[in-house]
Amino acid sequence: MSFPLHRNPPFRAEHLGSLKRPQYLLDARYKNAEPLSSLKPLEDKAITDIVQTQVSLGFRGISDGEYRRHMFWGTFFPSLLGMKEVQNPPFETFRTYVPDIAAFMETGHKPGESVYCVGKIQHTGQSTYIDQFEFLKTLVSKERWGEIKLTLAAPNWYHLRYVDGKAYPKDVYQNDRAYFGDVAKAYQVELDILYKAGLRNVQFDDPNLACEYQRQIVPCLPAPEDEYFCSEKMREGWKNDKNNTVTVDELFDMYIDLYNDCISKIPADMHIGVHLCRGNFVNSRHFSEGGYDAIATRLFTRLNVHTYYLEYDTPRAGGFEPLSSLPANKNVILGVITSKFPELEDKEEMKARIYQAADIVAKGAGESREQALKRMGVSPQCGFASHAEGNLIDIEGMKRKLRLVREIADEVWPGEP
């Protein structure tokens, strides 16, 4: 699909949506199990405060920090007709080699809940995201409503994790494409509702697209962060799973088609971005590692999004070379600042990395560094609290990271939001 370059959003300084929750909110929700009537005023206060923090730090694509959610994917899927949230789901339904499920196993956890298709999928006409957006509208001027960022669950989230044949009943959907067709229709309705309310800035959070081609990591004995025992567990597991009816490559193409169907009816002024996440788990763990090389061409040329939010905070992300495939009408936000740990990166080194990436983007598109920089920005590599507990960093440490992102953006792109 051909479309013009979309700017503002995205902005030069970005973050990925989830932010550290204040302790009083965590205590109220989990320690004291406060009822919603008592919890909502606390959420409102915490969100009001974190929006003020974002504005004071110079961020334009503000979010509510995902403070009303337990996990980053929110409540979209459980709200759909034909989908059911199951507590303590049967473990035999999961592909144990998929990185997020493997991460649970390695740390002695099992998924506490999961959502399954139990009937024909349909949107109810009521959005579970809308109240989050409406409250944010009360905290900024009307002129800035279009800048508000809302993060959405990836449409493939409750598919990849399941053994082939367990994501939906075969008497409801004969195959994946039929299932994906109704998932896409539900997203079309959701995006229409949100657009009519004034939302113009959408970010899908997707750990799956990247992990299909990356190596799943398993921590070894205590060692520096970059020393892990690595294996080709995902692709090897897929190949050895006799239940699978498609290859990894075929599934990747199907997921791109799913995304494109989900966003096929958006108006031209609605910005769509996708964050290719490597996972945020307890104690700042990530799920997978590896470069974008294997998926770059299809990811950048076939997926009809305006912006890619990519993780580049450690060597596990690989080099910038895949960015040479970025088309001239698309943006990339470089996640060179880690959200997992409090140590601050060297600003000059981060700027040098941005320029290095810009040169690769420029070479691929046949343009100058200055032209390439016009469709780039900087951010942390992931959210600060994809799960409620958050990463191994406190709120003040998070603020220092965000301030660093803003300072880098101001020096690379002076005078731009």
Low-confidence ranges of the chain (pLDDT < 50): 214-231, 284-288
Give the number of domains in the chain: 1
Is residue 314 domain-resident?
yes
pLDDT of residue 293: 75
Tell me the sheet residues that pair with 380.
Answer: 337
pTM of the prediction? 0.92
pLDDT value for 123: 98
Query: 279 in a domain, yes or no?
Result: yes
Nearest to 282 by CA among 417, 386, 175, 131: 386
Q: Give the torsion sign (CA, 235, 237, 238, 242).
A: positive
- Write out the residue range of the structural domain in which residue 52 sits: 23-412
Judge whether 10 lies within some domain.
Answer: no
- pLDDT recorded at residue 280: 56
> Does residue 13 lie within any of the structural domains?
no
1 part of a folded domain: no
Confirm whether 17 is domain-assigned.
Answer: no
> Where residue 291 sits, what CATH number does that domain have?
3.20.20.210
In this structure, is residue 241 part of a structural domain? Answer: yes
Burial per residue of 262-297, b for 16 or more beta-carbon CB atoms within 10 angstroms, e otherwise: bbeebeeebbbbbbbbbbbbeebbbbbbbbbebbbe
User: Do the domain assignments include residue 258?
Assistant: yes
pLDDT at position 290, please?
53
The per-residue pLDDT for 226 is 26
